[in-house]
Chains A and B, each alone.
Chain A
Amino acid sequence: MENIAINIDNVTFFYTPEDGEEAPRDVLSNVSLKIEKGSFVAVLGHNGSGKSTLARHLNALLLPKGGSVTVFGMDTRDEALTLEIRRRVGMVFQNPDNQIVSNVVEEDVAFAPENLGIPTPEIRKRVDEALRAVGLYEFRAHAPHLLSGGQKQRIAIAGVLAMRPKCVVFDEPTAMLDPRGRRDVMDIIERMKNGLGSTVILITHHMEEAAQADRVVVMSDGKVVMDGAPRQIFTRVRELEDLGLTVPGTVKLMWELRNRGVDVPLAALTADECAGALAEHFKANNRATSA
């Protein structure tokens, strides 16, 4: 248990129906996952598969109806621990416009430390540090609504970093961003994992982003249906397609080549890897024909 950050044990959840609605349907059913400290886990799944619902269990925004969630040794059902849990597990949401609370960048980043009652000089230190970490220190006195989508999302991340969390959950943080904003956000995630040693959980519909993780969890209809290293998961092309998901473009290319009888390895998660494998294949072919 020592190196487990979050232990999700047999969790079941349904949204309590409003009056006049039919009986509730389980949105999560018997989900169990152990997330190791310092790991980078990507969560995939079709729309409505329960990813966001699961994410909200990790910082006690939702409480399990069955089973339990233990965060750094703390049970989320214990109300006395809610704040302690939330300061350790930060959360970044999809729409940056709906998570920024102030008309001034630095005041927004300071929001969480202010709520935690941290002394003023220390808040200043954390805000400056967090804004430098996302590369927006020069914008500290700006109005967030005048910045680009990618910049706004980086401010939201800074607002979470200022809590100094041990784990950060990203719920589709790049869904509303352009390629440039997406790359900036992914760079920050990479640095958080490597530099700060944070545990990162990334919910995404972009397979290329998921391919950067240490571990990929696939959900379908409220259940965990696949769990493993990206290399293992993304080579199960047929199964993923049956679940309404795709695989990274490079894996797809290899898959189609193999279907046409070309003998290339399937597990090429990046463009670099794919090019390497193809070059290898062509060279071998050339040698074979010239010999």
Chain B
Amino acid sequence: MLKDVTLGQYFPGDSVVHRLDPRTKILLVILYIAALFNAESWVGYGVMLVCLGAAIAVSGIRLSSMVRGLKPIVFIVILTSLLNLFYSTGEVLVQFWIFKITREGIKAAILMAARLVMLVMGTFMLTYTTSPIMLTYGLELLLNPLKKLKVPVHELAMMMSMALRLIPTLIEETDKIMSAQKARGAEFDTGNLIDKAKAMLPILVPLFLSSFRRADELATAMEARCYHGGEGRTRLNVLKLAFRDYAALVLGVLVLAGIVVLARFGL
């Protein structure tokens, strides 16, 4: 059951999207999110949808993987759409009891759902096509200027990559502990919410203890391999911006500008 966790998942590949510098991809996602929040009309959303569709098609990531990743947010999407549907003012189409559905409400609900889904899919494009180490390396380089403000950028990036490194191990371990508890008659799928929470306790305690032990051993092993912070560190894979990175960034900025202009004209 835990095998479906998509957190930190990465689909190796050799597409242009995969080969883009992680820094470029992080910046593109930021531009994409900014554009998404500036889009106001069907036309604006249409443009964004075309951009997202093009990126997915080029990356070669299967649409089914994208959709599967959406499962956890289905509830939030439905809730926000409903709120938008009922709480908009404008030309009334249907009215019953205290609810009234307006033309504007329908539009707002659809666009809000689209915005959320496209937002999540856009960030998937980043994590699905970038290895966790490269992602944290890119983040570290982008945040490097903050070092002047005494922000421990290297340490934060290292923490993030260690966390990503331990996720598969911990998932495996949780599965093991759950099987062990099941073998002793524990049930995880029955009862009400409180029963389920209680059943989780015997899993969480050993999991916590073992992750502390693991973290301690990992830190010792890192020290034994000469880890001493970010100072004077070199890299096996050095990031270098290529022509395609500049091209992609220019394209990203143009799309954002286009969306802002469209919004100005009420589109």
Contacts and interface: CB of A to CB of B under 8 A. Distances in A.
Interface string B226-262: 1110001111111000000000000000000000000
Interface string B117-133: 00000000000000111
Contacts of A90: 224-225
B131 A91 contact: no
A163 B218 contact: no
Contact of A123 (B223, B232, B234): B234
Nearest to A127: B236
Contact of A118 (B133, B172, B234): B234
Contacts of A156: 221
B220 interface: yes
A59 B224 CA distance: 7
Contacts of B132: 103
Contact of B226 (A87, A127, A143): A87
A103 B133 CA distance: 7
Interface in A71-103: 83, 86-87, 90-91, 93, 95, 97-103
B234 A101 contact: no
A143 B235 CA distance: 19
Interface stretch (B18-26, B30-38, B107-115, B160-168): B160-168
Contacts of B15: none
Interface string A111-122: 111111111100
A145 interface: yes
B222 interface: yes
Nearest to B227: A115
B12 interface: yes
B169 A114 contact: no
Contact of A115 (B10, B165, B233): B233
B133 A104 contact: yes
Contact of B236 (A99, A114, A160): A114
B217 interface: yes
Given A95-B217, A98-B217, A143-B168, A123 B162 contact: no
Nearest to B210: A98
A120 B238 contact: yes
**Chain A: interface residue count, which band?**
35 or more
A181 interface: no
Contacts of A9: none
A86 B224 contact: yes
B232 to A, nearest CB: 4
Contacts of B232: 117
B226 A112 contact: yes
A147 to B, nearest CB: 12
A145 B172 contact: yes
Given A102-B165, A104-B131, A107-B133, A114 B221 contact: no
A102 B225 contact: no
Contacts of B223: 61, 86
A97 B167 CA distance: 12
A192 interface: no
A107 B233 contact: no
B233 A117 contact: yes
Contacts of B234: 113-114, 117-120, 123
B214 interface: yes
A112 B232 CA distance: 12
A96 to B, nearest CB: 10
A116 B226 contact: yes
A145 B226 contact: no
Among B12, B172, B225, residue most surrounded by chain A Cβ atoms (within 10 Å): B225
Contacts of B162: 101
Nearest to B229: A115
Contacts of A111: 222, 225, 227
Among A103, A111, A124, A159, residue most surrounded by chain B Cβ atoms (within 10 Å): A103
14 contacts: A59-B224, A83-B226, A83-B228, A86-B224, A99-B218, A99-B221, A103-B132, A104-B133, A107-B236, A111-B222, A113-B234, A114-B234, A114-B235, A160-B225
Given A86-B224, A98-B217, 9 more contacts: A83-B228, A97-B214, A99-B221, A103-B133, A104-B133, A115-B225, A141-B12, A145-B168, A163-B226
